[in-house]
Amino acid sequence: MPDEKVLERKGFLGLVTWAIGGLISLGLGIPAISYLIGPSLQKPEGQDWIRLGSSKKVEFGKPTLFKTTIQRQTGWIVNDEEVSAYIYTEGGREFIAFSNICSHLSCRVRWIDDQDQFFCPCHNAVFDRNGLVVSGPPPRPLDRYQVKIEDDQIYIQGV
């Protein structure tokens, strides 16, 4: 058998050493990568329904501000976070939930009743009762949340 390569003892042991070394590296390397990137890939928060309060407090035709505090966990640290939203309804059936954060530079907008508009004091942005931009620099309407009513309680989702 002149053509057959003879794998002598030394070469074989060298190969086995490389193989074991490779296995150990893989066995540590793959968990190490998942360890490093794992928390970065966790699904974003904002999947829970947040209870704001009774839907009876919402005046028809007038956006009403609701505030509540939720707990958010980042890593091992739990923080209290204030959530606020304007709830608007025409006739008490269909409800809309707006973020009160200006879509321009994240200042807080407020509802001004006698002018029938949302106003942001930072750059004089104005939104109408549907959250659409009337004037000023905002690039898009006020963000909306998913909203549902259960037992007269308002819940929003997507914060």
Partner 1 sequence: MVVKLTDWLDERVGWRSIWDNVFKRKIPYVNWLYTLGSATLLAVINQGVTGILLTIYYVPTPDHAYDSVQYITTQVPAGWMIRGLHHWGASAMVVLSFLHMLRVIFLGSYKYPREVTWFTGVFLFLTTIGFGFTGYLLPWDQKAYWATTVGTQIVAVTPLVGNWLLRVVLGGAELSPLTLTRFYGTHVWILPAALLLLLGIHLYLVISIGISEMPKQRE
| Contacts of partner 1 in 81-120 (CB under 8 A) | none
Structure tokens at 59: 């005046």
Considering only residues 56 to 75 of the shown chain, the ones binding partner 1 according to CB under 8 A are 75
As measured in angstroms, the least distance from the Cβ of 24 to partner 1 is 8
Cβ-based nearer residue to partner 1, 33 or 112: 33
Comparing CB distances to partner 1, the nearer of 57 and 72 is 72
| Smallest gap from residue 104 Cβ to partner 1 (A) | 36
Tell me 118's DSSP state.
E
Burial of 26 per CB tally in 10 Å (0-12, 13-18, 19+): exposed
Which residue, 42 or 115, is less far from partner 1 as judged by CB? 42
Which residues within the stretch 1-30 sit at the binding site for partner 1 (CB under 8 A)? 28
Q: Are strands 125-127 and 133-135 parallel, antiparallel or unpaired?
A: antiparallel
In the bound complex, what is the minimum distance in angstroms from residue 82's beta carbon to partner 1? 23
C-alpha–C-alpha distance, residues 144 and 111, integer Å:
15
Give the total of residues touching partner 1 (CB under 8 A): 11
- Nearest to partner 1 of 28, 134 (CB atom): 28
Q: Between 19 and 28, name the residue whose CB sits nearer to partner 1.
A: 28
| Side-chain half-sphere CA neighbours of 67 within 13 A | 6
Binders in 28-47 for partner 1, by CB under 8 A: 28, 31-32, 34-36, 38-39
Q: CA–CA separation, 120 vs 129, rounded Å?
A: 14
Distance CA 38, CA 31 (A): 10
- Could you tell me the strand order of the sheet in which 50-54 lies? 50-54, 153-157, 144-150, 95-99, 77-89, 64-74
Residues of this chain that interact with partner 1 (CB under 8 A) are 28, 31-32, 34-36, 38-39, 75-77
